[in-house]
Chains A and B, each alone.
Chain A
Amino acid sequence: MTEEDKLLEEVTSAEYKYGFVTDIDSDTIKNGLNEDVIRLISSKKNEPEWLLEWRLEGFKKFQKMTEPEWANVHYNKPDLQAISYYSAPKPKKKLDSLDEVDPELLKTFEKLGISLEEQKHLTGVAVDIVVDSVSVATSFKEKLGELGIIFCSISEAIQEHPELVRKYIGTVVPQTDNFYAALNSAVFTDGSFCYIPKGTRCPMELSTYFRINQAGTGQFERTLLIADEGSYVSYLEGCTAPSRDENQLHAAVVELIAMDEAEIKYSTVQNWYPGDKEGKGGVFNFVTKRGICHKSAKISWTQVETGSAVTWKYPSCILKGDNSIGEFFSVAVTNNYQQADTGTKMIHIGKNTKSTIISKGIAAGYSNSSYRGLVKIMKGAENARNFSQCDSLLMGDKSGSHTFPYIEVKNKSALIEHEATTSKIGEDQLFYCNQRGIGTDEAIGLIVNGYCKDVLNQLPMEFAVEAQKLLSLSLEGSVG
């Protein structure tokens, strides 16, 4: 039997490491989606009237929309009436320090490898953690406050900084953008908020961990990040969920606003529960992420996607200002029966705008990985430049890799380059490693990490190490 044949039979043996459930008392509302539920969420969160109106408006628009079917993924559409739209760990009183956090929850963080205290003292990473629907702890707030940086849950921002939220929410991803964005607008329960004042360089990485815990809940977080003129911020997000037989829905919206000469680096390591070896369970990850760049601003998306049963996600940049820059670096790994349809949109509006797309797809087992990208050069975008590179790596002969690049150019001065490759991890490569004493699992880790190097290099150091391990772990045992 050849290596390739064995691969067909032996799908991953690595268990999902984060598949535990935390036994905490949750305040979960009845399943179902209607106006009353939205009013209930809004009142539970003590929201101002304008936000309730905004949610209801979103809901009305949502009701007229249908679930998109153009993506190269196949799944049973989630029953949106069978989901609870609000679940919060009790007690819900406002937390001022970690001592007030439920000890069970703290244990969860430990299992996730997030020791808040340690993070605070050693790495200088400020963390906001969202479990199910609400944010439970934000570290480092005071220190950031001294610089005028606001980093908190979006619920808190709605209470404390309503003018900022009201001004920017929905400006990059309008309610009508798509089915799931509309749903999110109606029912979002928490998420992170960040504002970096003019000319300020955020001195530490800001980090959010999202976790779905409660069964039968969906997670609809909303993140809003505003970098004012000439500021800089690097933002990380990580995601995990318990192993459950049913599919859980995660439909987030992330909006980034980079004002003139600002720079935002947004990195994601997405490790939602991918389902079991037979493709049962797992998270549906239907996410809308988009940023807008004003003059000479720059937004860089970096994502390492290893989890979720189905991923539908296109972090995009609207290059509105002249001389602005958009970047997208992506690694998407699928194994077993996972499906991913992911990519980016780069919309060039301003003059001399530049965009770079580096996408690395890896498909093993029976999985399917698709890259879908749009590069659009508008009429007024003189001298726009784009470089795209889309590589696919296949393991075995039951996995699939697909590329759907769209290019629309309305200005003759544009220069667009597109490169694409498809390769397989060859028996020759594996044997070469084996002969040097490197076992097959280690060899796959080595080869895959090498293949993804251009993307991993974009991640902050600590995150890159974690992502490397995750890549190896996701593919462990995928070759016999």
Chain B
Amino acid sequence: MLKIQDLKVEIDGKEIIKGLSLEINKGEVHAIMGPNGAGKSTLSAVIAGRDEYEVTGGTIEFDGKDIMDLAPEERAHAGVFLSFQYPVEIPGVSVTNFIKTAINESRKAKGLDPIPAKDLLKLMREKQQLLEMDKQFMSRSINEGFSGGEKKRNEIFQMAMLDPKLAILDETDSGLDIDALRIVANGVNKLKNEDNAVMVITHYQRLLDHIIPDFVHVLYDGKIVKSGDKNLALELEAKGYDWIKQELA
């Protein structure tokens, strides 16, 4: 589904990703772990198409097609979803209005009519329940005055509504208390099926107790330096990133 080959990325002339390759197939859950500054968030932003990063080498294919020249919204229409580490506030735009616009823009790109209001409301109710969200939440301005937990829950709610092929969760566990973590992870697990894939970016093992990865990759200094199964995450948790650094030295 996602195939990254020898990717190199710079920002302001500084190389952040230095030749990264990664392949994610449908039905799989991949975890990307690594210390601060390793390039984890850069990787997610580049896949989603953020243009402040300059890609200086390599390729990104999605569903067999090169997506490097696609605008972020076109990548979204193709089925890429990014759950933001720091979701932004948009004052005056309700969660309902935002998600309705997002769904209808994707439908428009596919030549479909806007979603009927009845279907939208039904879908929203379903996904609200999945993420244990209050109905009043839907009329609040998106992310404005949301707690850390609410923001992340709202991200996963949008993911549920948009039903992407590839969901990238960028530090979705940061700022979550235990209960919110459980709800968010539970939501992701229920949305998971054999046709989609999830890429979890995290510092810590604790999210991976809930969302069990098929593969764990360690990103360090712009490269994947080690890959393994879920046990690698446990090993990292026990030994710390210094262990990787020493191994590489």
Provided the pairs A426-B88, A428-B88, A446-B98 are in contact, do residues A434 and B93 lie with their beta carbons within 8 angstroms? no
Q: Is the CB of B50 within 8 A of A431?
A: yes
Task: Name the distance in Å between B198's Cβ and chain A's nearest Cβ.
Answer: 16
The verdict on B51 contacting chain A, using a C-beta distance below 8 Å, is: yes
Provided the pairs A3-B51, A427-B52 are in contact, do residues A434 and B92 lie with their beta carbons within 8 angstroms? no
Q: Is the CB of A432 within 8 A of B71?
A: no
Which residues 151-196 of B sit at the A interface, judged by CB distance below 8 A?
Answer: 158, 162
The verdict on B72 contacting chain A, using a C-beta distance below 8 Å, is: yes
Provided the pairs A437-B73, A438-B102 are in contact, do residues A429 and B51 lie with their beta carbons within 8 angstroms? no
The verdict on B90 contacting chain A, using a C-beta distance below 8 Å, is: yes
By CB atoms of chain B within 10 A, which of A426, A429, A435, A446 has the most? Answer: A435
Residues of A within 8 Å of B77, CB to CB, are 437
Q: Is the CB of B93 within 8 A of A437?
A: no
CA distance A428 to B82 in the complex (A): 13
Provided the pairs A432-B84, A451-B91, A453-B92 are in contact, do residues A438 and B51 lie with their beta carbons within 8 angstroms? no
Q: Is the CB of B88 within 8 A of A439?
A: no
Partner of A434, one of B71, B91, B162: B71
Q: Is the CB of B87 within 8 A of A432?
A: yes
The verdict on B48 contacting chain A, using a C-beta distance below 8 Å, is: yes
CA distance A447 to B94 in the complex (A): 11
Q: Is the CB of A434 within 8 A of B88?
A: no
The verdict on A449 contacting chain B, using a C-beta distance below 8 Å, is: yes
Task: Name the distance in Å between A208's Cβ and chain B's nearest Cβ.
Answer: 29
CA distance A426 to B162 in the complex (A): 24
CA distance A437 to B141 in the complex (A): 19
Which residues 55-112 of B sit at the A interface, judged by CB distance below 8 A?
Answer: 71-73, 76-77, 81-82, 84, 87-88, 90-93, 97-99, 101-103, 105-106, 109
Closest chain A residue, CB of each to CB of B48: A435
Q: Is the CB of A438 within 8 A of B105?
A: yes
Interface of A is mostly: helix
By CB atoms of chain B within 10 A, which of A431, A449, A451 has the most? Answer: A431
Q: Is the CB of A437 within 8 A of B109?
A: yes
Which residues 106-147 of B sit at the A interface, judged by CB distance below 8 A?
Answer: 106, 109, 141
Residues of B within 8 Å of A452, CB to CB, are 92
Closest chain B residue, CB of each to CB of A431: B50
By CB atoms of chain A within 10 A, which of B48, B91, B109 has the most? Answer: B91
Q: Is the CB of A447 within 8 A of B76?
A: no
Q: Is the CB of B92 within 8 A of A450?
A: yes
Q: Is the CB of B73 within 8 A of A2?
A: no
Which residues 416-450 of A sit at the B interface, judged by CB distance below 8 A?
Answer: 426-429, 431-440, 442, 446-447, 449-450
Residues of B within 8 Å of A426, CB to CB, are 88
Closest chain B residue, CB of each to CB of A432: B88
The verdict on B39 contacting chain A, using a C-beta distance below 8 Å, is: no
Partner of B102, one of A2, A429, A431, A436: A436
Residues of B within 8 Å of A438, CB to CB, are 73, 101-102, 105
Provided the pairs A2-B52, A431-B50, A432-B84 are in contact, do residues A437 and B105 lie with their beta carbons within 8 angstroms? yes
Q: Is the CB of B92 within 8 A of A439?
A: no
Which residues 1-46 of A sit at the B interface, judged by CB distance below 8 A?
Answer: 2-3
The verdict on B213 contacting chain A, using a C-beta distance below 8 Å, is: no
Task: Name the distance in Å between B145's Cβ and chain A's nearest Cβ.
Answer: 14
Q: Is the CB of B92 within 8 A of A449?
A: yes
Partner of B90, one of A429, A434, A439: A429
CA distance A11 to B50 in the complex (A): 22
By CB atoms of chain B within 10 A, which of A432, A433, A437, A449 has the most? Answer: A437
Residues of B within 8 Å of A429, CB to CB, are 88, 90
Residues of A within 8 Å of B99, CB to CB, are 436
By CB atoms of chain B within 10 A, which of A438, A447, A449 has the most? Answer: A438
By CB atoms of chain A within 10 A, which of B84, B88, B106 has the most? Answer: B88
Residues of B within 8 Å of A57, CB to CB, are none
Residues of B within 8 Å of A434, CB to CB, are 49, 71-73, 76
Q: Is the CB of B101 within 8 A of A446?
A: yes
CA distance A452 to B81 in the complex (A): 29
Closest chain A residue, CB of each to CB of B89: A429
Residues of B within 8 Å of A439, CB to CB, are 71, 73, 105
Task: Name the distance in Å between A443's Cβ and chain B's nearest Cβ.
Answer: 9
Q: Is the CB of B72 within 8 A of A435?
A: yes
Residues of B within 8 Å of A428, CB to CB, are 88
CA distance A2 to B54 in the complex (A): 11
Residues of B within 8 Å of A3, CB to CB, are 51
Task: Name the distance in Å between A454's Cβ and chain B's nearest Cβ.
Answer: 7
Q: Is the CB of B162 within 8 A of A437?
A: yes
Task: Name the distance in Å between B67's Cβ and chain A's nearest Cβ.
Answer: 13
Task: Name the distance in Å between A1's Cβ and chain B's nearest Cβ.
Answer: 8
CA distance A434 to B78 in the complex (A): 13
Q: Is the CB of B82 within 8 A of A446?
A: no
Task: Name the distance in Å between A431's Cβ and chain B's nearest Cβ.
Answer: 6
Residues of A within 8 Å of B82, CB to CB, are 435
CA distance A436 to B82 in the complex (A): 8
Closest chain B residue, CB of each to CB of A442: B105
Residues of A within 8 Å of B50, CB to CB, are 431
Closest chain B residue, CB of each to CB of A448: B92
Task: Name the distance in Å between A124's Cβ and chain B's nearest Cβ.
Answer: 25
Residues of B within 8 Å of A2, CB to CB, are 51-52
Q: Is the CB of B90 within 8 A of A447?
A: yes
CA distance A439 to B74 in the complex (A): 8
Task: Name the distance in Å between B141's Cβ and chain A's nearest Cβ.
Answer: 7
CA distance A437 to B82 in the complex (A): 11
Partner of A450, one of B72, B109, B141, B162: B141
Residues of A within 8 Å of B72, CB to CB, are 431, 434-435
Provided the pairs A437-B76, A437-B77 are in contact, do residues A451 and B162 lie with their beta carbons within 8 angstroms? no
CA distance A434 to B45 in the complex (A): 12
Residues of A within 8 Å of B105, CB to CB, are 436-439, 442
Q: Give 15 A-B pairs besides A437-B102, A438-B101, A449-B93 with Cβ atoms closer than 8 angstroms.
A: A429-B88, A435-B48, A435-B82, A435-B84, A436-B158, A437-B76, A437-B77, A437-B103, A437-B106, A438-B105, A442-B101, A446-B90, A446-B97, A447-B90, A449-B92
**7 pairs, A vs B, C-beta closer than 8 Å:** A434-B72, A435-B72, A436-B76, A436-B98, A437-B77, A437-B162, A453-B92
**5 nearest A-B pairs in the assembled complex, by CB-CB distance:** A450-B92, A450-B93, A434-B72, A453-B92, A437-B76
- Could you list which residues of chain A lie within 8 angstroms of chain B, going by C-beta atoms? 2-3, 426-429, 431-440, 442, 446-447, 449-454
